[in-house]
Chain A
Amino acid sequence: MLYTDTNSKGAGVDDEDGEGAWVRPPPPPVAPKQQSLIFQQIEIDHYIGSPRAGMPGQQTGRVPVTRMFGVNDAGNSVCCHVHGFSPYFYVTCPATLKDSHLADFKHALNRALMDDMKSNRERISDAVLAVEVVQRESIYGFHDNQSARFLRLTLALPRLIAAAKRLLGEGKVFVANLGTPVYEAYESNIDFEIRFMVDTHLVGCCWVELPAGSWSVRTHDPQTRCQLEVDVAWNKFRVHEPEGEWARVAPFRILSFDIECAGRKGIFPEAEKDPVIQIAAMVIRQGEAEPFVRTIFTLKECAPIVGTQVLCFGRELDMLEVSVFLCQSWSRFVRLTDPDIITGYNINNFDLPYLLNRANALKSSVFPFLGRMKDARSIIRDSMLQSKQMGRRENKNINIEGRCQFDLLMVLLRDYKLRSYTLNSVSYHFLQEQKEDVHHSIISDLQAGNPQTRRRLAVYCLKDALLPLRLLDKLMCIINYMEMARVTGVPLSYLLTRGQQIKVVSQLPEEEKPLKLGQEIIAGEQNLILPVNKGTGDDEFEGATVIEPHKGYYSLPIATLDFSSLYPSIMMAHNLCYTSLLSGPHKAQEYGLSPEDFIKTPSGNYFVKSHKRKGLLPEILESLLSARKKAKNDLKNETDPLRMKVLDGRQLALKISANSVYGFTGAQVGKLPCLEISQSVTSFGRTMIAFTKEQVEEKYTIANGYSHNAKVIYGDTDSVMVLFGVETVAEAMAMGNEAASYVTEKFVKPIKLEFEKVYFPYLLINKKRYAGLYFTRADRHDKMDCKGIETVRRDNAPLVANLINTCLQKILIERNPTGAVDYAKQVISDLLCNRIDISQLVITKELTKLEKDYAAKQAHVELANKMKKRDAGTAPKLGDRVPYVIVAGAKGTPAYEKAEDPIYVLENNLPLDYEYYLCNQLSKPLLRIFEPILGEKAESQLLKGDHTRSRIITHSKVGAMAKFITKKASCIGCKVPIPSSSEALCKHCKSRESEVYIKQTNILGKMEQKFSELWTQCQKCQGSIHEEVICTSRDCPIFYMRRKVQLELVDQEKILQRFGVPSW
């Protein structure tokens, strides 16, 4: 525990005790001649530097140098400069080009490139390093295993590739006696780092060994802040495959941080004006349970916090100057603790840019050096990331060399579909912990208070820094992403900043190698290269098939047969690949293929069979699937928990990769689309589903000696649901197993139909909409499985999901349909009487585009505008999920005008549009699940029964009429109007005064108790029961309840006061 009072400049940081814990352990003495250096690399990039004597490659001018950052087993940071690797790409070699032309060609290209360069900062004398003729084969299409001649052009700098491709393509390179033939570029769009990794067999996050004698330590003039800075030639180091002991993870340092800013009232903090008042930082070593550094930097004095280093800045100094120190000492803290991974919640788009902009505004020259390069400033760049998986996102890119930025928000956005992505709701979702949410408008008040209130804020800030670490650990993000990097062979940071495709692209060059080795003996050198995609047409192709569902409620067990890894196995079974593609039957004739040598797929495409040419994609898939099998096996035998995590992460990564191969061929704007493959795959899938249905219904009949005629009631993409007609789960399982193996025999290997589960009972609502109890064992159900039903969708109110879920539980588990109907009626009645908690009615939608980009008006967009007018500071911004409720409006008002902020509704007592919730939200999903059970009368029973005839109508406190209207007094007992509000009851009820009074007192008592309970709950959540609750979390149901009861209490007290002073 340390508390430093600072009167002098940045005194807190000079404290030795604190820093001792910050820095890494000193590296052991190294002897490059005798020892090898082993480390796990985590980040790979390249820079343009000067060549180093004794290293291969160009020796003049500036050269590209690859850099690997990593950590060794002892926890020392390592930076390894790799020299001598030059970028290259291929172009088609014109038939007229002879070896004698090569020198001229090189010269011509060189001159063209040099002329093309606007400036020659790198003082390059030779842009083209080498031109060679090589035998390669284009990956696209079957060429009868004939390779063709290609030119391999090695250039001095990576950025010259694009220029060279352009110049060659435009015919700007004139070679004597040759002219300007057409050169088609291959592999020019592969990143330099990926190229390097492929050629050196590096994969992301693998262990690298520099053998003794091959490396040297930089003793003078180090460029980085790493403890060990070494140089090595690109062909001298060894890469360990991540197997066995090399699957381990080095003790990386992970820094998680969070900042608090003092905003002005009503305005979201702006870096130019509002100071950063607190920065919490936690550093943990990968694999340890608790962070070993917990530090909070605060502006002005802050009371001590147990277990945390509190560094306060400034009492007497000028505040502006002090905040410079705060930022600078945090920057220093980062340099000293030297983290490998920087994490936090939304650091990429808020915390880091804010700090950098703030430091810029304060003119701090020291702050932006956050990376490991001594002379590299961190700069913010805006970027747009567009991917099918995540939609369009605006991001900020900040370069922090050598440290991997692992923003937890990005990970969650990518991997999880949630209703809300605030840290609070995320932590509730995954850790079942509510977190208090301090609105940024009161942060300034806390800061302006005393050391105790600042401590309050500090505790909150620390929690925000700790939660990302706990979530990373809980969700195993780091391990899973490392394994994904290892499987796909790209650097860790690529996985977060690029789309899916990069993964497959990196695998394609990767897989060439073993292929080459294996086939060299038989077919000579057979190397594949990738053409540069120019984007093909946008033909739509038919998707997967769906067998028309026989809707209904099945009280007999339904067996489900699934194709395991359907698409990968189709590609393997039929040898569907770029390399085996024939553009038509005429090609087959051209190559002299007999009908046994190729197949025609159901979609009318032609592929050669594997004995003619084993496809590359099937090969990749096989190795992925066998690797997954192996990982799963290892997982079974593994006992060490950390290694189990690693293996589990790996098998998951392999599965995702295998499935993304299909998507890759279908992505039309992708790196290498091939619709012939993707449409053949889906067409095979369709025929297989139909075939399975046919087979099952043909075999399992009474005529064949079975007790019932089997019926396929539904089938989708890779599964069919079969009603065998048997009574028990066990029988259905036995028959399912039998049917699966029976049908599997009829397919080409490795296509396999598996029996997976039994649904019993089963409610089939429509295509892709069903629910059932999921059995994998005969004795007990595993879970309730719902597909496409509102329980899992995000664009409706939680009330819908909860109601449907409970109803399904009552129907399926308790087998009590009447109970479910009663429950639904009760909820509807509660809804109409305003008894449903408002948090249950909140709908959230993401604000993905600006208003003008939306074609039609949308509720959440309109609301965001409305809120911006009220208070620009709290209004949702682009990318936020906007919570709203629908309030009552005039007849014919469109729904988008009726959206309102839930808190505003609560405070002003706005009436909600219950009809909307009943008709637009609840009715359809409810009718869908009840129609198979109740039939036609479902609607009148559920939506129009007696339970809908009791309503409570509230009156808003805002609105044009509100200020003119007075409330007339009414009798508390029977609600009829009475002349004066000083009276409590009408003359008819007067005789029952005591009874009514007791009733109202009871109501007040219950409210008081409820409020106290809620208040205590919030106090527990904020971790202090001595202080006022300041949390305004919009994700927390407790918050809404607390606010509602609070308002109701005030009204109820007024009612009681009308009875007057009790007298005897």
Chain B
Amino acid sequence: MRSVPARFVCEPCRKRAKTCRQSGADNTTGKERSRCDSSLILYTASVCRGYRNLAKMFEARLVKGSLLKNVLDAIKDLLKQASWDCADSGIQLQAMDNSHVSLVSVSLKAEGFDKYRCDRNLIMGMDLGSMSKILKCAANDDIVTMKAQDNADTVTFMFESPNQEKVSDYEMKLMNLDQEHLGIPETQYACVVKMPSSEFARICRDLSNFGESICIACTKEGIKFYAAGDIGTANIKLAQTSSVDKEDAVLIDLQEPVTLTFSCHYLNMFIKATPLSPQVSLSMSPDVPLVVEYTIPDLGHIQYFLAPKIDESDS
């Protein structure tokens, strides 16, 4: 914990730190002090935010900790850093990838967590590479808890083994990411296809051997994937299945037929989310981004948006 020169700490905080020290305070003292440091600009405007929100905090506990690991695996190749927006309704993440071709949207509902507390809205900027490294330290059956003091510059990951015999604490430094909040307007899609996620992953992987892009054509009869390249062409057709309820069903909700072309590179990034859900849904409309959605049962969803390739020569 770095020490902060006294002049950077507002008067109430200084008093508080003093009382903490006198009362043999725990390690939160240091955090309080550095909070004032991080709110330096506000302090010059005669307000120390650190003091105002002292009692507020964020905590989210997930018994099935492996879900969080999977979520991170699904996004860390697309995004290097990202901000998690924490609100009392849940945790959201929305960001464009580096090249601004695709957009990732993660939503984890508060109800999905076993314990969730967020006293005030909070944004945590994280280096997803580092976060993934930390989550790798958790065993698959560990209970994961994310904790942060409001306005802190670190976040704590706590992993508890199911029998509570082992508890590990990892503290990660947060980043200050100044970035705009993005959204995709609600759209009525011309066609929505639901299919087994493993099947979709397989198709993307296979077709990427043929060319740089995959053409998806959707008709009443079924959905067709097509790729062409130096070695030849590949065509995969999936017919709509009659059974509705099974997980390996292919369901097509069609308003009008659509044919769109997408970059393989990005689709192959999206299929990293396959472990999260047995089913994937593809929503398409002409000249509108494709939405690839994986529902995380009881917790939320991951959506990927990818703009179609307009013209081969243009890309």
Contact = CB atoms under 8 A, between A and B. Distances in A.
Given A968-B183, A976-B122, A890 B265 contact: yes
Interface string A931-946: 0000000000000001
B176 A951 contact: yes
A966 B180 CA distance: 10
B24 interface: no
A988 B99 contact: no
Given A893-B99, A961-B100, A950 B176 contact: yes
B288 A950 contact: no
B173 A966 contact: no
A992 B183 contact: no
B85 interface: yes
Contacts of A988: 120-121
A995 interface: yes
Given A953-B179, A974-B121, A976-B85, A889 B99 contact: yes
A891 B177 CA distance: 19
Contacts of B123: 974-976
Contact of B305 (A956, A964, A966, A974): A964
A744 interface: no
B45 interface: yes
A939 to B, nearest CB: 17
Given A961-B307, A976-B122, A988-B121, A966 B185 contact: yes
A959 interface: yes
A970 B98 contact: no
Given A888-B99, A890-B97, A961-B289, A953 B178 contact: yes
Contacts of A384: none
Contact of B182 (A913, A955, A995): A955
Given A889-B99, A995-B47, A953 B85 contact: no
A967 B289 CA distance: 16
Nearest to A964: B289
Interface string B80-91: 110001010000
A949 interface: yes
B4 interface: no
Nearest to A951: B177
Contact of A961 (B78, B103, B122): B103
B181 A967 contact: yes
A962 interface: yes
A833 B178 contact: yes
B294 to A, nearest CB: 19
A964 B181 contact: no
Interface string A513-554: 000000000000000000000000000000000000000000
Contacts of B102: 961
A1024 B145 CA distance: 65
B239 interface: no
A995 B49 CA distance: 13
Given A950-B175, A986-B121, A970 B181 contact: yes
A952 interface: yes
A965 interface: yes
Kindly name the residue among B100, B103, B121, B310 whose own CB sees the greatest number of chain A CB atoms within 10 A: B100
Contacts of A998: 45
B180 A955 contact: yes
A949 B85 contact: no
Nearest to A834: B178
A970 B80 CA distance: 22
A99 to B, nearest CB: 76
Interface residues of B, number: 47
B176 A949 contact: yes
A956 to B, nearest CB: 5
B47 A992 contact: yes
Interface string B270-291: 0000000000000000001100
A920 to B, nearest CB: 15
B77 A977 contact: no
Contacts of B179: 952-955
Interface residues of A, number: 39
Contact of A953 (B87, B177, B289, B308): B177
B63 interface: no
A949 B175 contact: yes
B184 interface: yes
Interface in B8-23: none
A960 B307 contact: yes
B288 A964 contact: yes
A974 B122 CA distance: 9
Contact of A965 (B45, B103, B177): B103
Given A949-B174, A965-B103, A976-B121, A955 B181 contact: no
Interface string A987-1001: 010001001001100
B182 A966 contact: yes
A169 interface: no
A833 to B, nearest CB: 7
B182 A968 contact: yes
B54 interface: no
B173 A946 contact: yes
B236 interface: no
Contacts of A951: 81, 125, 175-178
A956 B180 CA distance: 11
A969 interface: yes
Interface in A877-892: 888-891
A181 interface: no
A975 B41 CA distance: 15
Contacts of A889: 98-99
A977 B179 CA distance: 11
Given A891-B98, A951-B81, A969 B289 contact: no
B83 to A, nearest CB: 9
A911 B100 contact: yes
A952 B175 CA distance: 10
A956 B98 CA distance: 10
B6 interface: no
A109 to B, nearest CB: 63
A976 B87 CA distance: 9
Interface string B104-125: 0000000000000000111101
Interface string B15-43: 00000000000000000000000000100
A977 B289 CA distance: 23
Contacts of B45: 995, 998-999
Interface string A815-845: 0000000000000000001000000000000
B175 A959 contact: no
A242 to B, nearest CB: 63
B101 interface: yes
Nearest to B266: A890
B305 A890 contact: no
B189 to A, nearest CB: 13
A986 B88 CA distance: 14
A588 B159 CA distance: 89
Interface in A426-455: none
Nearest to A892: B265
Nearest to B77: A891
16 contacts: A888-B100, A890-B97, A891-B97, A891-B98, A911-B100, A949-B173, A950-B177, A951-B175, A951-B176, A953-B179, A955-B180, A960-B310, A961-B100, A965-B183, A967-B182, A970-B181
What 10 A-B pairs have minimum CB-CB distances, sorted nearest first? A960-B307, A976-B121, A968-B181, A950-B176, A953-B179, A890-B99, A959-B100, A952-B178, A888-B98, A968-B183
Interface of B: 41, 45-47, 77-78, 80-81, 85, 87, 92, 95-103, 120-123, 125, 173-185, 265-266, 288-289, 305, 307-310
Given A951-B176, A953-B179, A995-B46, 19 more contacts: A833-B178, A891-B77, A913-B98, A952-B177, A955-B180, A961-B102, A964-B184, A966-B183, A967-B180, A967-B181, A967-B183, A968-B183, A970-B181, A974-B121, A976-B85, A976-B121, A988-B120, A999-B41, A999-B45
